[in-house]
Amino acid sequence: MGLQFDIVTLFTDYFTSPLTQSILKRAVKEGKIRVNVHNLRDFTHDRHRTADDKPFGGGAGMLMKPEPLFECVENIQNRKTGRNGARRTKGWVVLLDPHGKPFSQAVARRLSRKRKIILIAGHYEGVDHRVREHLADEQISVGDFVTMGGEAPALCVIEAVSRLLPGVLGNKESLRHESFQDNELEYPQYTRPRNYRGWIVPETLISGNHKEVEKWRREASQKMTQERQTNLYPKKRSY
């Protein structure tokens, strides 16, 4: 069985279209990944299915309550499967949260070695802090910006991690040359026509000299990284 993702969310329909498109659709169909979406409101205990409440001490907005989050995740962890009712691996619990460590290609590679990842998509003003302290194995932020909730970040994690799994991408070369693989941005790429509106493809790329093409790509990658991602470039030369 491939890598399993379990998403804990208030908005299950959010994931319907992305998971049935393109490479993710094929990965699911071929068993490379498995994605289960869990409705957090199924783990509430009042007739209004309340999953949020006002913060102690006052303040704007609402916080997601701890009870449904803990109960939902624990339910996922304790489910049994297989002919003999063997218990599944409990899984690695990830909270998508602005407090988290920055998501990166290195983090994606690490997560791709897990067997089961439980993604908690926060919402409103965030989650009760006890979820961070006692439920999540780690917290991840996809960037220094604010989204409506953790659903879009959860999809980012699923896509970034899934494409690193064997067989998900049809061409292994796509992984070897892509951006951030070696702490550098990918080199510029071009296709036909060679001349478009006066913008001409570099002569080296159509020369047929593979050694010169590789040299050009390496230098172009380094230059682009220095110009656009100065935070990445020094890491390549640190010890």
What is the reported pTM?
0.84
Let me know if residue 173 belongs to a domain.
Answer: no
Domain assignment of residue 202, given as a range: 179-237
Of 162, 197, 224, the residue at which a domain comes to its end is: 162
Half-sphere exposure of 66 (CA within 13 A, CB side): 10
d(CA 224, CA 126) in angstroms, rounded, equals 37
- In the predicted model, what is the mean pLDDT of residues 226-234? 66
Same-domain pairing of 158 and 197: no
Q: What is the CATH classification number for the domain harbouring 112? A: 3.40.1280.10
- Three-state DSSP class for 66? helix
Same-domain pairing of 111 and 144: yes
Let me know if residue 119 belongs to a domain.
Answer: yes
Nearest to 34 by CA among 135, 110, 139, 114: 114
Q: Which two tokens stand for residue 178?
A: 């892509």
> What is the structure's pLDDT at 239?
24
Same-domain pairing of 184 and 150: no
Let me know if residue 94 belongs to a domain.
Answer: yes
Of 129, 162, 195, the residue at which a domain comes to its end is: 162
Residues 170-188 have pLDDT tens digits of: 765 555 555 445 668 899 9
Q: What is the CATH classification number for the domain harbouring 190? A: 1.10.1270.20
Let me know if residue 174 belongs to a domain.
Answer: no
Residues 86-118 have pLDDT tens digits of: 656 899 999 999 989 999 999 999 999 999 999
Same-domain pairing of 33 and 143: yes
Residues 12-67 have pLDDT tens digits of: 999 999 999 999 999 999 999 999 999 999 999 999 999 999 999 988 899 999 99
Let me know if residue 89 belongs to a domain.
Answer: yes
Let me know if residue 223 belongs to a domain.
Answer: yes
Nearest to 14 by CA among 30, 33, 37: 37
Count of structural domains within the chain: 2
Let me know if residue 171 belongs to a domain.
Answer: no
Same-domain pairing of 213 and 139: no
- Three-state DSSP class for 64? strand
